[in-house]
Structure 1
Amino acid sequence: MSDAVSIAVDTPSRSYQVTVGSGVLGRLGRLARATCGGQRACVVSDSNVAPLYAEAALGSLRAAGYEAGLLTFPAGEASKNVRTLSALLEGIAGLGLTRDDVVVALGGGVTGDMAGLAAALYLRGCQVVQVPTSLLAMVDSSVGGKTAIDLEAGKNLAGAFLQPSLVLADVDCLKSLSAGLLRDSCGEVVKHAVLDGPQMLRDLTEHPANESLEPGRMTALVARNVRIKRDVVADDERERGLRQTLNLGHTIGHAIEAASGFALGHGSSVAAGLCCMARACERKGWSEQGLAALVEGAVRAHGLPTGTDVPTDDLMRFAAHDKKRHADSVNVVVPLAPGKVEVRAVGLDGLRELIELGCGRD
């Protein structure tokens, strides 16, 4: 087991530790016992991840004295709906969990959302431990407490904030990811680089996040991304101001993802949306010249899309339902320069202009 890194996240509602390293899944039971207490644990996972890691998770929890059960659902974004949520809630109740017990989210971003929202709703809130197994979940969705399901109208439109009691990211789990899923996860890594500054963008362009899964390298990469998100979340837990900057690339990216019927992965969609916004903002004179080329270079280095062929009308239809919409305007994150962004409210006509200026394939 390589040296693990522990990162403290402090928010108004809860403070917790994110532990990143090789082999740390075996610490799940001990850390959950020390952090959460309780007598029962419900591991929530999907049909892809459960066969790989559920036995280890359950064994660790039981060794720490928990009565532990497992609930699974079909893998994929298509399961991120109210029907799956209802089945999880009934399953958690069936296992007899109380408010003092713990739900363990074992899997990628969909599992983290589903288990987190179920924990937020069950008995008006019980504890959740996030155990992300994808790079996307490790660097982004497992930290910060946002949980949601999709509705017919769009992505992540029904949800709640529930900070985890503990996050445990075992980088050894990344070895089981397909090349395509690992590549998709890198979209959020590139987004963090744009928020962080030019050095991280250059580092990722020269040494893409998916080029090597060496445990020490991946531990450092995940920890770097967690710190970037931690610093934002700690200042704005409920996404009223600064935290909206984490949505860089997401307004267009979510529209691209929804228009594909969720066939295109979240990270790939965010990467495309990020490039679209960079091009549009540069063409409008909002951002410094050359920014789009820097962003596109990092995106291409990871094998991710830099644009979309989805028609503007289709993108507008999904973007109009974005959760960041307020009346007749939408908050978009404008990349001004590497390491410098701002949130601007644009009307729907302004959003259409950004899409027309930035989308398409370069």
Structure 2
Amino acid sequence: MSVSFDIQSSIANYRVVIKNGAFAEVQRQDENSAVLCDNFFETAFSGNARVISVPANEETKSLKSVPDIIIKMRDLALTRQAKLTAVGGGSLQDVATFCASIYMRGIKWDYIPTTLLGMVDSCIGGKSSINVGRYKNLVGNFHPPETVIIDPNLVLSLNAEQKIAGLCEAVKICYARGSLSFSEYMQLNPQVDMDVERYADIIELSLKAKKWFIEVDEFDKAERLLLNYGHTFGHALEGASNFEVSHGIAVGLGMLIAINYAQVSRGLKQTPADTQQLKDYVVGLLDQIPTLKEIIQRIDVEKVFECFISDKKHSASHFIIISVNNSGALERLFIEKTEINIVNLKSAISSVISQSYK
């Protein structure tokens, strides 16, 4: 399979290439380039002296890790004409975007996502999100890559939980795009155990759905905000679990919390058909993670809420989330910071932690 398309950006247009076997081509680097990869892929570039490897974790996408990477880039004598090739998952992508944007006021870079989550979602959009201290995604910027190169064969190296994390993000994007996109996704019958070609179809569908959002609203001012569906609650679950719950899984849980909040607070007596289908599908995915129930049942609701209220998307007077309306469409919901609303929010969180969302 080989598919390519362009992303229009006011900063610089860039190309997405989906091609089986593309990773082998990326391993051959020219003299004026360097590789920033997670530790797992370090040996794949053993013949290239210009390799910076970092752990694939939340610590890597923190502000305190940036100086070390920048110094290593300088130690490799990278010039302003150099290109950085980033190889890894979402955390690696965040720090690569940020470092490429500030090194010598910005150098070109390419990105090769190695997780399904990165392939279906974060590889396009040009954003970096960097943790600072205990605050998740507090700083960041926009610096799109020159090329995004996706090799669906890399999905075969992932475990079931990593695949589920990616599918949670993919279905979220397609649901946010609307009924037609969501229907196309569900018709592909996406499951954990699929062949590479079907995963490639999921990747293409998800990215083309997200392409619409980032081209009409590049800097997160309007339509693109709908892609935060599941993220505000999800980030809170990540933080409260000390990141035992990974990002994609947390987004899946976050979508369920948002649906429950709509039912509790907005009198959503009958769940819209698409929303119910989404809920059943996500629950079916999450049920395939044997350790998840035990992990989330250890999480304290108050700690989740503490992380929730510190989210950067809220205003001084309102909590701001993405939720479903009576027709099942997504919309931004401004929740006044009243006692009853706080009770309802905690109730929605608790329903997922206690597994009563079913």
Using structure 2 for the length normalisation, give the TM-score: 0.87
- 2:211 corresponds to which residue? 230
Range that drifts further, 309-318 or 82-91? 309-318
TM-aligned CA deviation for residue 95 of structure 1: 1.2
Summarize the alignment of residues 147-162 of structure 1 with structure 2, pairs less than 5 Å apart.
147-162=128-143
Q: 1:116–1:293: structure 2 CA closer, same or farther, 3 Å change rule?
A: same
- 1:5 corresponds to which residue? 3
For the 8 Å contact 1:4–1:24, the answer to whether it is kept is no
Instruction: Please state if 1:189 is matched with 2:170.
Output: yes
- 1:220 corresponds to which residue? 201
Q: 1:328–1:93: structure 2 CA closer, same or farther, 3 Å change rule?
A: farther
Mind listing any 5+ residue stretches in structure 2 that lack a counterpart? none
Range that drifts further, 95-104 or 325-334? 325-334
Instruction: Please state if 1:210 is matched with 2:192.
Output: yes
Runs of 4+ aligned residues of structure 1 deviating over 6 Å after TM superposition are none
Range that drifts further, 283-292 or 310-319? 283-292
Q: Which amino acid aligns with 1:83?
A: K
For the 8 Å contact 2:264–2:344, the answer to whether it is kept is no
Q: 1:284–1:19: structure 2 CA closer, same or farther, 3 Å change rule?
A: same
Residues 292-350 of structure 1: CA deviation (Å, up to 9, x unaligned): 53222111232356995433321221112212122232321122368721113223444
Summarize the alignment of residues 57-96 of structure 1 with structure 2, pairs less than 5 Å apart.
58=48, 69-96=50-77
Q: Percent identity?
A: 25
Summarize the alignment of residues 135-174 of structure 1 with structure 2, pairs less than 5 Å apart.
135-174=116-155
Q: 2:161 aligns to what SS in structure 1?
A: helix
Range that drifts further, 291-300 or 263-272? 291-300
TM-aligned CA deviation for residue 352 of structure 1: 5.3
Instruction: Please state if 1:294 is matched with 2:277.
Output: yes
Q: 1:150–1:94: structure 2 CA closer, same or farther, 3 Å change rule?
A: same
Q: 1:333–1:96: structure 2 CA closer, same or farther, 3 Å change rule?
A: same
TM-aligned CA deviation for residue 161 of structure 1: 1.2
TM-aligned CA deviation for residue 132 of structure 1: 0.2
Summarize the alignment of residues 296-315 of structure 1 with structure 2, pairs less than 5 Å apart.
296-303=279-286, 308-309=296-297, 310-315=299-304
- 1:40 corresponds to which residue? 32
Choose which of 217, 220, 227 in structure 2 pairs with 1:246: 227
- 1:347 corresponds to which residue? 336
TM-aligned CA deviation for residue 110 of structure 1: 0.8
Aligned equivalents of 1:13 and 1:209: distance in 2?
Answer: 36
Q: 1:28–1:206: structure 2 CA closer, same or farther, 3 Å change rule?
A: closer
Q: 2:50 aligns to what SS in structure 1?
A: strand
TM-aligned CA deviation for residue 148 of structure 1: 2.2
TM-aligned CA deviation for residue 236 of structure 1: 1.2
Paired positions, count: 342
Residues 212-258 of structure 1: CA deviation (Å, up to 9, x unaligned): 1x232122110111011111011111111111111101010100011
Residues 106-148 of structure 1: CA deviation (Å, up to 9, x unaligned): 0101111111111111112111211101100011111101112
Aligned equivalents of 2:32 and 2:343: distance in 1?
Answer: 50
Aligned equivalents of 2:317 and 2:255: distance in 1?
Answer: 23
Q: 1:42–1:337: structure 2 CA closer, same or farther, 3 Å change rule?
A: farther
Choose which of 269, 276, 290 in structure 1 pairs with 2:250: 269
The Cα RMSD (Å) is 2.7
- 2:312 corresponds to which residue? 323
Aligned equivalents of 1:164 and 1:348: distance in 2?
Answer: 39
Aligned equivalents of 1:277 and 1:191: distance in 2?
Answer: 12
Residues 151-170 of structure 1: CA deviation (Å, up to 9, x unaligned): 22321112111111110010
- 1:65 corresponds to which residue? none
Q: 1:7 aligns to what SS in structure 2?
A: strand
TM-aligned CA deviation for residue 261 of structure 1: 0.5
Between Structure 1 and Structure 2, which shows a larger proportion of strand residues?
1
Q: 1:357–1:162: structure 2 CA closer, same or farther, 3 Å change rule?
A: same
Range that drifts further, 308-317 or 276-285? 308-317
Aligned equivalents of 2:87 and 2:328: distance in 1?
Answer: 32
Higher relative contact order (CA 8 A, sep 6+): 1
Aligned equivalents of 1:184 and 1:289: distance in 2?
Answer: 28
For the 8 Å contact 1:332–1:343, the answer to whether it is kept is yes
Residues 11-44 of structure 1: CA deviation (Å, up to 9, x unaligned): 21121111112112244489x98xxxxx621211
Q: Which amino acid aligns with 1:4?
A: S
Aligned equivalents of 2:100 and 2:236: distance in 1?
Answer: 28
For the 8 Å contact 2:265–2:344, the answer to whether it is kept is no
Q: Which amino acid aligns with 1:318?
A: C
Q: 1:244–1:134: structure 2 CA closer, same or farther, 3 Å change rule?
A: same
Using structure 1 for the length normalisation, give the TM-score: 0.86
- 1:15 corresponds to which residue? 13
Q: 1:79 aligns to what SS in structure 2?
A: coil
TM-aligned CA deviation for residue 201 of structure 1: 4.8
Aligned equivalents of 2:200 and 2:267: distance in 1?
Answer: 36
Aligned equivalents of 1:75 and 1:302: distance in 2?
Answer: 24
